[in-house]
Structures are given as C-alpha cells and as structure tokens.
C-alpha cells in the first residue's frame, strides 16, 4: 500500500463518509430496483465505514456482506451496526474488491458507491458480473463528465486523478458491453458533495496539524476548490444495472 493511500485511509477513519453520497441517495437507488427483484443477499464492495451498508441492511433486511481493504473501516462499521441492532444482518470481509475468489456468488444485489474507479470501471464490471445470480442487479456510482467541454482546470486535475473518466453515455455503453441491461440512472445531487467535503474538513485540518502540509492534503483541498468552481461540469452518476435471467 502506498504512503499516500495509507495517509488517506488514516484521515478517512474520522469522516462520516469516504466519498459523496447520502442516506437519501442510497434509498433513491434502492427504489429504482425492479419490483420483481428478490433481495436476500447483498454484496457491498468498498464499503468504507458503512455509510451505505447500514442503509442497505435496514431497508432490505437482507444479509449484507461488506468488503473493504482497510480493517479499521470495518471495525467502525461493526460498531455502528451493533449500535443500530442490525449486526446480525452484516458480515465484514477485509480484502481487495478486485480479488473476488473468496466472496462466493449468487448475490441478488451488488452495491458499489464510489468504489469501482479504484480498480477501473470496466474492469470492475467484468469482475463483478459472475458474482450475481441470474436477474441480479448491480448499483454503482461513477465519476463522469456532465458536459462535452469541461473547464480546463477541472480537466487537468482529473487527467491525473482519474485519467479514464468518461461521460454518462460512455459508461452506460460500457455496462451494456459487459453484459448488463441499464435499468435507470440519476446524478448525485450537489448536497451529497457539500456534505462530504464538510465531513472531511475537520479530520483534514487535524491531519495537517499532526503531520504537516503534505502534498496529498493539498490535493484534497484543491479538489474541493475545483468542485466549488466547476462542479456543474462533472459529478457522480448512479447506474442501476441488471444481468439477464440466464
């Protein structure tokens, strides 16, 4: 694990969420699932401290297997699940979401809010599809361009941070090529971004005070500045995808 990634994980241990999202957004995506879909087994990949996991367990009453590479995130998730009396509905697995060999298959629903990018969107779609049962669904949020000509400052930033970033139509086409049928989609609201940045502000300030002004922290502040200036040019899209019945 790189030093920068270690520092990010350390910082995110103290944040409510590890990326843009909200309880409302998770519920909205759940509401778009096909009415006929039976949801008894859910796989939450890149779950972090459980911002989505807890909602999935409470709303579906299914068993949720929550996977993340950083064990302290999972410890926080388990503690939160205990507090909300839903621990029996959640199992945690410390592991890389790209290594699916030990996760099993036959899941009714796979959930991946803001995590697919870390192993490449198309790679994630291919690796995760065999984990779904026939007729199962994947819900994934992915960073995309909303406009054909984004601001140069935003384009330059994401050329380094997310070099294969595409637009919504391209990501939908990638899903089709990987064997999914798009069911619905929506853009995450700006409030999800504002809440994420507000949640990371205190831990970031504490990290800088403890470790000094490191490049990784400066990059996080720059990311927020770019979003505040050019957030209309890009954002997350939530895709609700389904595999065929056989």
pLDDT in tens, 57-87: 999 999 999 999 999 999 999 999 999 999 9
- Looking up tokens 């595999």 gives 243
pLDDT of residue 14: 82
Q: In the block, which residue shows the tokens 């989609």?
A: 185
Task: Say if residues 57 and 82 touch (Cβ distance below 8 Å).
Answer: no
Long-range contacts of 223-231 (CB under 8 A, 24+ apart): 223/157, 223/161, 224/197, 226/153, 226/154, 226/157, 227/193, 227/197, 229/151, 229/153, 229/154, 230/150, 230/151, 230/153, 230/154, 231/190, 231/193
- At 72 the three-state DSSP class reads helix
pLDDT band, very low/low/confident/very high, at 2 (cuts 50, 70, 90): low
Q: What is the pTM of this model?
A: 0.95
pLDDT digits (tens, 9 = 90+) for 197-230: 999 999 999 999 999 989 999 999 999 999 999 9
């Amino acid at each position: 694990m790189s030093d920068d990634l270690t520092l990010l994980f350390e910082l995110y241990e103290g944040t409510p969420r590890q990326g843009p999202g909200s309880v409302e957004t998770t519920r909205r995506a759940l509401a778009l699932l096909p009415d006929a879909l039976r949801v008894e087994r859910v796989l939450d990949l890149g779950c972090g401290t459980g911002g989505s996991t807890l909602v999935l367990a409470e709303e579906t009453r299914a068993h949720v297997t929550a996977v993340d590479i950083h064990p302290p995130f999972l410890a926080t998730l388990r503690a939160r699940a205990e507090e909300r009396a839903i621990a029996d509905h959640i199992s945690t697995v410390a592991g890389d979401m790209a290594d699916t060999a030990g996760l099993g298959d036959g899941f009714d629903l796979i959930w991946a809010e803001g995590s697919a990018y870390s192993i490449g969107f198309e790679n994630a779609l291919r690796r995760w599809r065999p984990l779904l049962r026939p007729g199962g669904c994947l819900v994934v949020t992915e960073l995309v361009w909303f406009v054909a000509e984004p601001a140069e400052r935003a384009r330059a930033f994401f050329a380094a941070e997310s070099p294969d970033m595409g637009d919504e139509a391209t990501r939908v086409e990638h899903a089709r090529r990987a064997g999914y049928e798009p069911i619905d989609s929506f853009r995450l609201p700006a409030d999800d971004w504002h809440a994420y940045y507000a949640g990371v502000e205190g831990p970031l300030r504490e990290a800088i005070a403890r470790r000094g002004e490191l490049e990784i922290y400066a990059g996080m502040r720059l990311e927020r500045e770019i979003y505040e200036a050019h957030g209309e040019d890009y954002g997350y899209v939530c895709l609700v995808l389904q595999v065929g019945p056989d």
